[in-house]
Amino acid sequence: MKKLCVIGDPVLHSKSPLIQNTMIRALGLDYEYFCVLVKKEELTDWMARALREGWAGFNATMPHKQALVPLMDHLDTDAALFQAVNTVCCRDGEFYGFNTDGGGFVRVLEQAGVPVKGSRFTVLGAGGAAKAIVLELAEQGAGQVLVCNRTAEKAEALSAVFPDRITARGFSPAELSDACKSADVLVNCTNLGMIGSPSFENLDFLQSLPGGVPVFDLIYHPEQTDLLAEAEDLGHPVTNGLPLLINQAILSLEHFSGLAIDPAAMIPLVEKALDDDKP
């Protein structure tokens, strides 16, 4: 049996073992997936331990995604572009780093029937998740990506990577409304609305979205944020962050196992496992 895990701090609440072990069993793979608490200052010790103990690979969450970049022997294109690693395969004593954040979101769009090429995206937020999604969308040929963020420098840094496709905008009600006017797709990558975080002060900007524009929120806890509830009331198709969580996990397992995995077969199984796990 080959060992996989997620490392991070905090990490013990992670749904990754449940999601991955559900898929591993359904596919009949010879892996077991665990959770390992690795503090920020313990990362290099963990890397040595991973090789010594023969771990086949691991996922990484806060606070390790950026710190892993210089520790990799090989980096895939997305991990290099985002300067963040969330999936590591250990092969023949070497580390192969991947990032599944952007690719996972593109799969979510495909499954929702939303094209990337030529579409105009308005993205709220410019943190870690937004960075991966915005750069992936621009790289995959989005017509325009407007990045609205409270801290201007973070949105401007993203715009500097693909200046012809990514435009930085502010986060005032007027700027949000304006950015929604030309959107074909709206994506919330802030933590506004997440359990334990504040909500949007007002959602009037949604009134500026053209009719029928799909709205995605990366948050899955709660299942429906105020943003999604309001967008749904206005007649927009809405998607929460659960499909992204699952699609990223599928991509990671593809890297670990070398197999192509059919998302349509896995998604219902994982959704059921997560549902059964609810308190």
Q: Which of 198, 210, 212, 268 binds ligand NAP (CB under 6 A)?
A: 198
Complex with ligand NAP: residue 86 or 144, whichever CB lies closer? 86
Among this protein's residues, is 181 annotated catalytic?
no
Rounded to an integer, what distance in angstroms lies between the CA atom of residue 97 and that of residue 87? 6
Give me 37's structure tokens.
Answer: 């608490």
100 binds ligand NAP (CB under 6 A): no
State which of positions 2-31 bind ligand NAP (CB under 6 A): none
Among residues 95, 171, 205, 256, the one that binds ligand NAP under rule CB under 6 A: 171
Tell me the per-residue interface mask from 215 to 254 with ligand NAP, x by CB under 6 A, - otherwise.
---xxx--------------------x--xx--x------
215 sits in the region (left: phi over 0; alpha: psi -120 to 50; else beta) called: beta
- Orientation angle between helical segments 16-27 and 242-257, nearest 10 degrees: 50
Among 134, 145, 189, 270, binds ligand NAP (CB under 6 A): 189
Among 194, 231, 238, 251, binds ligand NAP (CB under 6 A): 194
For residue 198, whether the previous peptide bond is cis, meaning omega lies within 30 degrees of 0, is no
Closest residue to ligand NAP, Cβ-based?
127
Q: Fill in the per-residue mask, 126 to 165: x = in contact with ligand NAP (CB under 6 A), - = not in contact.
A: xxxxx------------------xxx--x-----------
Q: What is the DSSP letter of 68?
A: T
* Residue from the set 185, 192, 203, 215 that interacts with ligand NAP by CB under 6 A: 192
Residue of 135, 125, 259, 267 lying closest to 192 (CA atoms): 125
d(Cα 109, Cα 93) in Å, to the nearest integer?
36
CB of 79 to ligand NAP, least distance (A): 15
Question: How far apart, in whole angstroms, are the C-alpha atoms of residue 7 and residue 88?
Answer: 11
Q: β-strand 215-217 against 57-60: which pairing, if any? A: unpaired
Query: To the nearest whole angstrom, how small is the minimum distance from the Cβ of residue 175 to ligand NAP?
Result: 12
* DSSP code at position 14: -
88 three-state secondary structure: strand
Q: Is 125 in the site for ligand NAP (CB under 6 A)?
A: yes
Closest distance between ligand NAP and the C-beta of residue 1, in Å?
Answer: 27
Could you give the CA distance from residue 271 to residue 242 in angstroms, rounded to a whole number? Answer: 8
| Residues near ligand NAP (CB under 6 A) | 125-130, 149-151, 154, 171, 189-192, 194, 198, 218-220, 241, 244-245, 248
Active site residues: 65
